[in-house]
Amino acid sequence: MIDNVVSINLYKPHICGNALCLQCDNKWVACAPVGTTELQCSECNTWKGVFEWMTAPDTVWECRCGNQHFFINEAGAMCAMCGFYHEDF
């Protein structure tokens, strides 16, 4: 049996798609229950995996490092990959 294959409960709704690790930039295909906000990376085992292209907004914000995932608060946005804090957006 393959070590990195995890059995899933098929009676709950799941989403599957391309995933990206914000720690090591690993890319893989992941399946997770609907509503999952973080994935465990199949390469570095951190919980910094996210689904790519979960929404298709009219405007896409991208950090200088190429990342499109941010932590947002009232003061600005911090890049989830490199940590750069963007105040002018």
Residue 12: burial class (beta carbons within 10 Å; 0-12, 13-18, 19+): exposed
The sign one gets for the Cα dihedral 44, 23, 47, 59 is negative
pLDDT at 55 over 60: no
What confidence category does residue 7 fall into, taking pLDDT thresholds of 50, 70 and 90?
low
Q: Which residue in this structure is represented by tokens 């200088």? A: 64
Q: What is the pTM of this model?
A: 0.55
Mean pLDDT to the nearest integer, 57-76: 80
Residues in the chain: 89
**Percentage of the chain lying above the pLDDT 70 cut:** 79
Q: Tell me the pLDDT tens digit for each residue of 33-53.
A: 877 888 999 899 999 998 887
Alpha helices in 1-89 (DSSP H): none
